[in-house]
Amino acid sequence: MAELNGKSKEELDELMDDEHNKRWYAVVTYVGHENRVKENLEKRIETMNIQDALFRVVVAEESETTITKTGKKQETKKNLFPGYIFVEMKMTDEAWYVVRNTPGVTGFIGSSGKGAKPFPIADDEMDAILRRLGKADPHVAVPFKVGDSVKVTTGPFIGMVGTVSSMDDNTCIANVMLNLFGRETPTDVAYTDLEPADGE
């Protein structure tokens, strides 16, 4: 039993050592109370002075623009995951206790109950959520820079090649000059939808 899925017991222990590693967890809340739970949890983190184990609390909301009957634009927030918030934390006993006992929290995704600690969200899944919300970690390493030639790998401009004119590491979006309808047009493309076009 020393090996499981090609990983040694030591590697598996390291993967599960969430007391020392920052990981993201999905926390279950009452639907419609996500922002209230976020506020409650952030207050508890401060008053209980456990900023070294509990970090970011995120409600996955996107802004939506709708047009009212009178023709006015109205900004509304749409929750992508009703009934859930995302918490970046080290899974210490104290941090786990604080989150579970925050008013409005009903549990964690990935916990079997019976006192078992939950599994974290896979890094690539959480990165995709954060990118969509414009909250991705800055300084993401990408294999291109401003001035490089890149190829679009997905979406409506798939296969098109252009030059990177600017990059925003906060949103992980590059502005690429693409040739559309015979003229160079600045187009915003996510880092993940681009690859170097060398050798084209």
pLDDT in tens, 33-82: 999 999 999 999 999 999 999 999 999 988 777 777 887 877 778 888 99
In terms of domains, do 176 and 126 share one? no
Closest CA to 196 of 140, 153, 139, 143: 143
Q: pLDDT above 70 covers what percent of the chain?
A: 86
Is the distance from CB of 186 to CB of 177 less than 8 angstroms?
Answer: yes
State the Cα–Cα distance between residues 169 and 189, nearest whole angstrom: 12
We report the CATH number of the domain holding residue 185 as 2.30.30.30
Q: Answer whether residue 1 is part of any domain.
A: no
Q: Is the pLDDT of residue 83 over 80?
A: yes
Domain count, the chain: 2
Q: Answer whether residue 106 is part of any domain.
A: yes
Half-sphere exposure in the Cβ direction for 171 (13 Å, CA): 10
We report the CATH number of the domain holding residue 100 as 3.30.70.940
In terms of domains, do 44 and 121 share one? yes
pTM over 0.85: no
In terms of domains, do 70 and 30 share one? yes
Tokens 């409650």 belong to: 40
State the Cα–Cα distance between residues 158 and 172, nearest whole angstrom: 18
**Residue 2 in 3-state DSSP?**
coil
State which amino acid sits at residue 197.
A
Q: Is the pLDDT of residue 200 over 90?
A: no
In terms of domains, do 29 and 95 share one? yes
Q: Answer whether residue 181 is part of any domain.
A: yes
pLDDT in tens, 147-185: 999 999 988 889 999 999 998 877 778 999 999 888 999
In terms of domains, do 23 and 114 share one? yes
In terms of domains, do 91 and 190 share one? no
Last residue of a domain, one of 109, 133, 157: 133
In terms of domains, do 96 and 182 share one? no
In terms of domains, do 36 and 128 share one? yes
In terms of domains, do 128 and 154 share one? no
Q: What is the pLDDT of residue 87?
A: 95
Last residue of a domain, one of 133, 158, 182: 133
Q: Answer whether residue 54 is part of any domain.
A: yes
Question: H or E segment at 3?
Answer: strand 3-4
Segment 96-113 mean pLDDT = 89
Average per-residue pLDDT for the chain: 83
User: Secondary structure of 48-113 in the HEC alphabet?
Assistant: CCCCCCEEEEECCEEEEEEECCCCCEEEEEEECCCCEEEEEECCCHHHHHHHHCCCCEEEECCCCC
Q: Is the pLDDT of residue 15 over 60?
A: no
Q: What is the pLDDT of residue 135?
A: 72
In terms of domains, do 124 and 169 share one? no
Domain that holds residue 177: 149-196
In terms of domains, do 75 and 46 share one? yes
